[in-house]
Amino acid sequence: MDIRIGIVQSMKEIDVELPADADRDQVMKDVEAALTGEKVLWLTDRKGRRVGIPASRIAYVELGTPASDRVVGFGAA
């Protein structure tokens, strides 16, 4: 699953590719917890690297669709 995080007062975004088995609902809960009280949102990408984003600097979070929901090819419905 891909996650894109916009940073306050920055033109750049942080793109993190989470493991294919990442639980979308749990990621959303982690983001909400970081924004409501905790200081840093920590995510682990597909290669095992840890990414920490200060919650006070997060402008928006965009969660990509799970791999099982992606449609490829002609006539896909």
**Does 76 reside within a domain?**
no
| pLDDT tens string 13-55 | 999 999 988 888 999 889 999 888 878 999 999 999 999 999 9
Q: How many structural domains comprise the chain?
A: 1
pLDDT band at 64 (very low <50, low <70, confident <90, very high): confident
Instruction: Specify the pTM.
Output: 0.72
- CB count in 10 Å sphere of residue 32: 13
CATH number at residue 25: 2.30.30
- For residues 1-15, average pLDDT: 90
**Does 27 reside within a domain?**
yes
What DSSP assignment string belongs to 9-50? T-S-EEEEE--TT--HHHHHHHHHHHHHT-SEEEEE-TTS-E
Whether the per-residue pLDDT at 6 is higher than 90: the answer is yes
**Does 70 reside within a domain?**
no
